[in-house]
Amino acid sequence: MEQCGIRPHFWLQANGVGFIKPIAPYVVTYEGKNWFMKIILNLKTPSHYVFSLKKHVQKDGGLRGMKSNDFHVMM
């Protein structure tokens, strides 16, 4: 990509010993994930608009068992 001159934020960076691949801008940090889960757990929606998202939050912070409508509401 560097030779083609595209996406400079993805180019490998030399550190003297080898190369470091930079973190992609869309990667969520641990703090960001915790912040998002707090918002999901405190989300208030109209009755029957979306299934209870609190029931889908796992202990590890993941979301499981959601239907497509639930994902669309989150977006």
pLDDT digits (tens, 9 = 90+) for 11-25: 888 888 999 888 888
Determine the pLDDT at residue 27: 87
**Total domains in the fold of the chain:** 1
Flag whether 15 is in a domain: yes
Secondary element (H or E) of residue 68: helix 68-74
Tell me how far apart the alpha carbons of residues 65 and 71 are, in angstroms, rounded to a whole number. 11
In a domain? residue 1 = no
Q: Do the domain assignments include residue 67?
A: yes
pLDDT at 51: 67
Tell me whether residue 3 is in a domain. Answer: no
Q: Which residues pair with 19 in a beta bridge?
A: 14
Q: Is residue 31 part of a domain?
A: yes
DSSP 35: H
DSSP 52: -
Domain-embedded: residue 53: yes
Residues of the chain with pLDDT under 50: none
Rg (CA), the chain: 19
Note the pTM of the prediction, 2 decimals.
Answer: 0.54
CA 43 to CA 34: how far, in whole Å?
14
Residue 67: helix, strand or coil by DSSP?
Answer: coil
| Residue 14, domain member (yes or no) | yes
